[in-house]
Amino acid sequence: MRHFAEHGYQGARVEDVARELGIAKGSVFQHFGSKAGLFLAAYKRAVSSLPAWLDAPAEVVDRGFWAVLVYWLERTEHLIREDWIPYRVSLIGNYGTDLSLKRDINRWLVSEDPYGTLDFVEFGVARGEVRSDVEVEVTASMLDWLAERFQDALVTEELDPGLFHRHPHQPQRRQARIEQFAELLRSAIGTRPA
C-alpha cells in the first residue's frame, strides 16, 4: 500500500516492493500472480480500512442521514492528513490503473459495498429523509458517484475541476462548496418538503 501510494501504479516497481519486504521478487509473483494482482490486494486492504458511512460517531448517526453526510464531507480532509495512504491507493485504483484492473475493482466494490452505501441509503429511507420514489440502487449509485468524485476533488488537484484549488487558501470558500454540494444532494435525493 505504501509503495503504491508513494509512486502510483506505473511508478511502483515490484522489485522495490519485494526488497522493502525483505523477500525475492519471484515470491511476490508466487503470492499475487502479477503486478495487477498485487495492486488489487493492496487496494482491497486500503478501501476496507476506510470508514463506512455509518461508522460515524453514534451521536452523529442519531441526528440522521444528512448529518452523517455532512460529517464525512467535512471530515475527509482531516482523515486524509492523518492517514493518507489508503486514500491515495483508492484514488489510484479509481483512476490510475487500466480498464481491466478497473473492472476487477468495480466488481469487488459492487459485491462488497465497502462503504456500506446501500445500507446508508436504506437507513435514510427508513428515517424518511431520503426519497423512496426512485429505486434504492439508483439513489445509491448517484450518492456513490457524487460523493466519491467530490471527495476526490477535495483531496487532489489531479481531479479537481477548479472547485477547490483554483483559488488557493480560501477556507471559507471550501466550506461554502461543501454546503452547496450537500444542498444539491439533498435536493436530488432527499424527501420533498410537503
Partner DNA sequence: ATTCGATCTGACCGAAGGTCACAATACAAC
Partner DNA sequence: GTTGTATTGTGACCTTCGGTCAGATCGAAT
Residues that bind DNA (CB under 7 A): 12-15, 22-27, 29-31, 34-36
Phi/psi-derived region of residue 148, left when phi > 0, alpha when psi is between -120 and 50, beta in every other case: alpha
CB of 34 to DNA, least distance (A): 3
Q: Which does 25 bind (CB under 5 to 8 A by kind): DNA, its own copies, none?
A: DNA
CB of 25 to DNA, least distance (A): 5
Alpha-carbon span 76 to 83, nearest angstrom: 10
Q: Which does 61 bind (CB under 5 to 8 A by kind): DNA, its own copies, none?
A: none
Distance of CA 26 to the CA centre of its chain: 32
49-52 contacts, C-beta under 8 A, 24 or more apart: 49/86, 50/86, 50/87, 50/90, 50/114, 50/115, 51/79, 52/114, 52/115, 52/116, 52/119, 52/120
Q: Which residue lies nearer to DNA by CB, 28 or 189?
A: 28
Kindly tell me the burial class for residue 151, based on how many C-beta atoms sit within 10 Å of its own C-beta (0-12, 13-18, 19 or more).
buried
Residue keyed to cell 444528512: 66
Does position 174 bind its own copies by CB under 8 A? no
Residue ranges in 144-173 that form contacts with its own copies under rule CB under 8 A: 144-146, 149, 153, 157-167
CB of 27 to DNA, least distance (A): 4
Residue ranges in 55-114 that form contacts with its own copies under rule CB under 8 A: 91-92, 94-100, 102-103, 106-107, 109-110
Alpha-carbon span 63 to 4, nearest angstrom: 38
Contact positions vs its own copies (CB under 8 A): 8-11, 91-92, 94-100, 102-103, 106-107, 109-110, 134-135, 137-142, 144-146, 149, 153, 157-167, 176-177, 180-181, 183-185, 187-189, 192
